[in-house]
Amino acid sequence: MERILVIGANGQIGSELVEALAAQHGADNVIAADISQSSLYGAKVYQVIDVLNTARLAEVVEQYHVTQVYQLAALLSATGEQAPLKAWTLNMDGLLNILELARIRGAAGKPLKVFWPSSIAAFGPNTPAVNTPQYTVMDPSTIYGISKLAGERLCEYYFQKYGVDVRSIRYPGIISYKSPPGGGTTDYAIAIFHSALRGERYECFLDAETTLPMIYMPDAIRATISLMEAPAGKLSIRSSYNVAGLSFNPRELALAIKQNLPDFDIHYAPDSRQAIAATWPQSLDDSSASKDWGWQAQIGLEQLVSDMLKNVKISDGALAA
Ligand code: AKB
């Protein structure tokens, strides 16, 4: 029986992952954890954890006999640029603390399987932008991207040197409606739905032709759980897998929304996030993920748009442009 700890459970991915894992393993076997005092999404088991507190981490893992950890606590690309040292400390030490705990527990005969998210932000301006290969130039220019690239190398290192069973995905921008995104460059693709449903004109912080890799949350959750369930012997990559969903730019997304809401209007006012997006891939080659663990995206733009328009709650006012 698996006992699964999700750190960052109140965040965009964590909130949905806890629900999916609870449906699969039973709510009692999924321990949601975050830095705030309570679960924002009604997790049955909840613990307050600051991932930088190693003693607390070890205590909860021991208390619940945890066998898998998803370490999702991080500062994203846009907020990371506002506080680079904080982003570096949280993103790197958070991962290192989990890897060290997995190493120590593994040596004591209590293995801990680890999931850690990397990102398309690990690529940079000299990376081939179209159909970006799994192995290529990686020269990230944000603190977030630098932490993701360094984190990928740490994952590989802990696997090679200590046999830690760590698995990772380079997430594209994730689009979802359950919880607000947390300060990324791809957030426009969520905020746009909130404006559209409020009947407001959307002021987009990226320019119209900025194509980025994106993925709808149900595909992202399926990818994550499939990778964690794949037999270890099938995995040829212990840094992080490219995983593609779909690719589009703001103009194409606005057009797809307009097909459902003909009065929707968009205006472009690129800000500092445009410079970040310009260094990221437009599309990804995810053939290694397909070959190793059968990854195949299922959700395209039309389905994503109609599902978002059905499910986004506009009353919360949680999203700014
Ligand atoms: C961000 O925009 O920072 C994130 C990401 C692509 O990792 N959504």
DSSP state of 257: H
Q: Which residue has the tokens 């739905």?
A: 193
pLDDT band at 90 (very low <50, low <70, confident <90, very high): very high
pLDDT of residue 182: 81
Residue 154 to residue 158: CA distance in whole angstroms: 6
Collect all residues with Cβ–Cβ distance below 8 Å to 106 and sequence separation of at least 6.
Answer: 112, 162, 163, 164
The number of the ligand 1 atom at minimal distance from the alpha carbon of 280 is 6
Residue 23: Cβ-neighbour burial (10 angstroms; 0-12, 13-18, 19+):
exposed
Residue of 79, 119, 170 best suited for mutating to test ligand 1, as the one with most atoms within 8 Å of CB: 119
Q: Name residues contacting ligand 1 (CB within 6 A).
A: 76-77, 119-121, 144, 171, 173, 184-186
| Cα–Cα distance list, 41 to 11, 15, 45, 58, 232 (Å) | 10, 6, 11, 24, 32
Residue 319 to residue 321: CA distance in whole angstroms: 7
For this structure, is 144 an active site residue?
A: yes
Q: How far is CA 235 from the centre of its chain?
A: 20
Distance 243 CA to ligand 1 centre (A): 14
Q: Render pLDDT for 178-227 as a digit per residue (tens, 0 to 9).
A: 988 789 999 999 999 999 999 999 999 999 999 999 999 999 999 999 99
pTM of the predicted model, to two decimals?
Answer: 0.96
Q: Render pLDDT for 249-291 as a digit per residue (tens, 0 to 9).
A: 999 999 999 999 999 999 999 999 999 999 999 999 999 999 9
Collect all residues with Cβ–Cβ distance below 8 Å to 244 and sequence separation of at least 6.
Answer: 172, 213, 215, 283, 284, 285, 286, 297
Q: Are 78 and 187 in contact (CB under 8 A)?
A: yes
| Cα–Cα distance list, 137 to 152, 165, 286, 287, 293 (Å) | 14, 26, 16, 18, 24
Q: Render pLDDT for 11-52 as a digit per residue (tens, 0 to 9).
A: 999 999 999 999 999 999 999 999 999 999 999 999 999 999
Residue 161 to residue 152: CA distance in whole angstroms: 14
What residue type is assigned to position 256 of the chain? A
Distance 62 CA to ligand 1 centre (A): 32
Residue 189: Cβ-neighbour burial (10 angstroms; 0-12, 13-18, 19+):
buried
Q: Is the pLDDT of residue 320 over 80?
A: no
User: What does the pLDDT average to over 234-257?
Assistant: 98
Q: Render pLDDT for 46-72 as a digit per residue (tens, 0 to 9).
A: 999 999 999 999 999 999 999 999 999
Hey, whose CA ends up nearest to atom 1 of ligand 1?
184
Q: How far is CA 187 from the centre of its chain?
A: 12
Q: Render pLDDT for 96-111 as a digit per residue (tens, 0 to 9).
A: 999 999 999 999 999 9
pLDDT of residue 315: 56
**Can you spell out the DSSP letters for 6-66?**
EETTTSHHHHHHHHHHHHHH-GGGEEEEESSSS-TT--SEEEE--TT-HHHHHHHHHHTT-
Q: Is the pLDDT of residue 314 over 60?
A: yes
Distance 122 CA to ligand 1 centre (A): 10
User: Which of the residues 70, 144, 158, 241 is marked catalytic?
Assistant: 144
State what percent of residues in the chain have pLDDT above 90. 96
Distance 69 CA to ligand 1 centre (A): 21
Phi, psi values for residue 69, rounded to 5°? -125, 130
pLDDT of residue 313: 82
Q: Render pLDDT for 125-175 as a digit per residue (tens, 0 to 9).
A: 999 999 999 999 999 999 999 999 999 999 999 999 999 999 999 999 999
Domains and CATH numbers, the chain: 4-172+216-242 (3.40.50.720), 175-213+246-286+298-320 (3.90.25.10)
